[in-house]
Amino acid sequence: MAAIAVASLTKSFGEVHAVNGVSFEVAQGECLSLLGPNGAGKTTTTEILEGYTKPDSGHVEVLGHDPQHADLAWRARLGIVLQSVRDLGDLTVIEAVRHFAQYYPNPKDPEAVIAAVGLTHKAGSRNDQLSGGQRRRLDVALGVIGNPELLFLDEPTTGFDPEARREFWDLIESLKADGATILLTTHYLDEAERLADRVAVIARGRIIACDAPHLLGNRNTGLAVVSWTEGGIAHQEQTAQPTLLTQELAHRFNGEVPDLSIKRPSLEDTYLALIDGDELRGDAR
Amino acid sequence: MSHAIRLGSKRVGVELKQFFRDRESAMFNFALPMLLLVIFGSVFGGQSLEGTDITFAQYFVAGMIASGILYTSFQNLAISIPLEREDGTLKRLRGTPMPKASYFIGKIGMVFVAYVAQVTILIAVGVAFYGIDLPSTPNRWLTFVWVSVLGLIACTLLGIAYSVVPKSGRGASAVVTPVVLILQFTSGVFFVFNQLPQWMQTFASLFPLKWLTQAMRYVFLPDQAQAAEVAGEWELGMCALVLVIWVILGAILALVFFRWTPRGSKS
């Protein structure tokens, strides 16, 4: 059974169709990343799955339950890292994590979780004295303290420095290794590529592409760019058959091709092309 | 249910830590009645009520304690809950398996502890510096307790319900403080109640603070002061009745109107 199953989901706020017919599934133990521009409907979709928002129509099942009619035992199986919360400022890191651990039937060890998010040296500090990135790590700690089967991460690494982001990725991968299902909303494509088994691109309330990161938008079979230097001049050629071109080049140069590189479109290139294409279609309408 | 109570007791601890560590709001709720007592005590000090040997300080300590009930429960919650709604406290809690009841138990427990601390200091200062006499009979102490408990429960529930009125956390004190001030002016906290205009007395009789103040006068004044009451007696039965009605009304209002998300928010 899928951990998350969504079909034909819609939600409007007044005239704005925030979610406009979204369908997808997330298998047990899978990490799905929702990508999309601001206002595309990522957070609304996530908050419907978390039970915060009531959808207008469509079918939603999260861990076998409708989030609108689920009980606290269901909640105990979820971990939620929300966007932009600024609470708990008057408690210390360790106080907050220990307190939230008490809400769950089978929590992780608070000290271990604080170590895993890299806050051990700040455990005794008041939360309102943490930096933005440290605050975010506390949010992640509170999201995973209950040992969740399903973890929602809404832009979890905003404000992290590169090193902290890598540590965070290791933490999430260890949760995945333990079998947790993860729904990750992010703006960082490298993060999605590293963590997600599949990415779903949302634009204007609909999913316009959903696939494994290396397959998205036919990245693997799309045009590759082959570049090399010939006679002191940089050359570049787009081709669907990069191997053939390279072979020709090797033949021409009779061996090594100077400065040879073959580039498939990056996830970012593919993502931007998908979003641009969608906007063009939207404007044409 | 026992789970909700157990987690509720844990919430009391966390609520108290946050209450006392947030110095501004703790001061506001906590030191205000004391400040009032100091001002009233210094201005009127040894003066006596007309025709009695009851000092003004002794008369007004009842109003300060009754105000303390209103500050620690109603004012405290009606200002702090909108902030919690705004900064994500409530949203985060709703995302956990914490029973909603635990949140309310936490608030009530926090209010009770804060009140006990406040009233203890208030009475100690009154006794030490302004010659306040402690309640003279066991009945008066008993009344002190039940009036405090009923008043705290009613005003806590009303504070939870009223927390939906402020549109934002920042503007909360602007719509909460006037309510408290109007009740204080009309309920005999700042003035001798029987000297207030009739319509003001009638208005105040609809709300808990007048009855809390009146019952606290019974607690702190000698029997001879009974004659100075508007009804010529303490009306403790009526006081209990009004408070119980407000407890029920407060519970209904809190259940119907309380919300976890800011008004006009998406979720």
Residues A42, A142: one domain?
yes
Return the pLDDT at A283.
64
Alpha carbon A263 to its chain's center: 24
Residues A184, A254: one domain?
no
The amino acid at B173: S
Alpha carbon B10 to its chain's center: 23
State the smallest CA–CA distance between residue A285 and chain B in angstroms.
Answer: 28
Residues A170, A234: one domain?
no
**Residues whose CB is less than 8 angstroms from the CB of residue A224 and which lie 6 or more positions away in sequence, other chains included:** A238, A239, A240, A242, A262, A263, A264, A265
Reported confidence tier of residue B7, pLDDT bands at 50, 70, 90: very high
Return the pLDDT at A273.
81
Distance CA A277, CA A280 (A): 5
Residues 103-142 in A contacting B (C-alpha not used; CB under 8 Å): 103-105, 126, 142
- What are A262's strand-pairing partners? A226
pLDDT in tens, B77-130: 998 899 888 888 999 999 999 998 899 899 999 999 999 988 998 899 888 888
Cβ pair A43, A3 in contact under 8 A: no
Residue A119 CB burial class (10 angstroms; 0-12, 13-18, ≥19):
buried
- Residue carrying structure tokens 């403080």: B177
- How many CB atoms lie under 10 A from the CB of residue A158? 14
Q: What is the CATH number of the domain that holds A97?
A: 3.40.50.300
Return the pLDDT at B148.
95
Return the pLDDT at A284.
58
pLDDT exceeding 70 applies to what percent of chain A?
99
Contact pairs from chain A to chain B, CB under 8 Å: 71
Strands A181-185 and A31-35: parallel
Residues A141, A159: one domain?
yes
Residues A209, A254: one domain?
no
* Closest by Cβ to B267, choosing from A52, A72, A90: A52
State the smallest CA–CA distance between residue A217 and chain B in angstroms.
Answer: 32
Cβ of B14 within 8 Å of Cβ of A95? The answer is yes
Q: How many domains does chain A have?
A: 2
Cβ pair B72, B118 in contact under 8 A: yes
State the smallest CA–CA distance between residue B69 and chain A in angstroms.
Answer: 24
Distance CA A212, CA A172 (A): 18
- What are A202's strand-pairing partners? A207
- How many CB atoms lie under 10 A from the CB of residue B192? 14
Residues A46, A133: one domain?
yes
pLDDT in tens, A54-73: 999 999 999 999 999 989 99
Q: Is B198 on the interface with A (CB under 8 A)?
A: no
Q: Which two tokens stand for residue B158?
A: 């009303």
Q: Is A153 on the interface with B (CB under 8 A)?
A: no
Residues A72, A85: one domain?
yes
Alpha carbon A48 to its chain's center: 17
Cβ of A82 within 8 Å of Cβ of B95? The answer is yes
Cβ of B88 within 8 Å of Cβ of A87? The answer is yes
Cβ of A75 within 8 Å of Cβ of B266? The answer is no
Residues A67, A143: one domain?
yes
Distance CA A144, CA A155 (A): 15
Q: Is A86 on the interface with B (CB under 8 A)?
A: yes
Q: What average pLDDT does chain B have?
A: 87
**Residues whose CB is less than 8 angstroms from the CB of residue A257 and which lie 6 or more positions away in sequence, other chains included:** A228, A246, A249, A250
Q: Is B16 on the interface with A (CB under 8 A)?
A: no
Cβ of A142 within 8 Å of Cβ of B267? The answer is no
State the smallest CA–CA distance between residue B259 and chain A in angstroms.
Answer: 12
The residue extents of the domains of chain B are 2-257
Angle between helices B2-21 and A93-101 (to 10 degrees): 170
ipTM here: 0.84
Cβ pair A224, A242 in contact under 8 A: yes
Cβ pair A267, A217 in contact under 8 A: no
Reply yes or no on whether the pLDDT at A159 is more than 80: no
**Which chain B residues contact residue A87 at CB under 8 A?**
84, 87-89, 92
Instruction: Write out the residue range of the structural domain in which residue A140 sits.
Output: 4-217
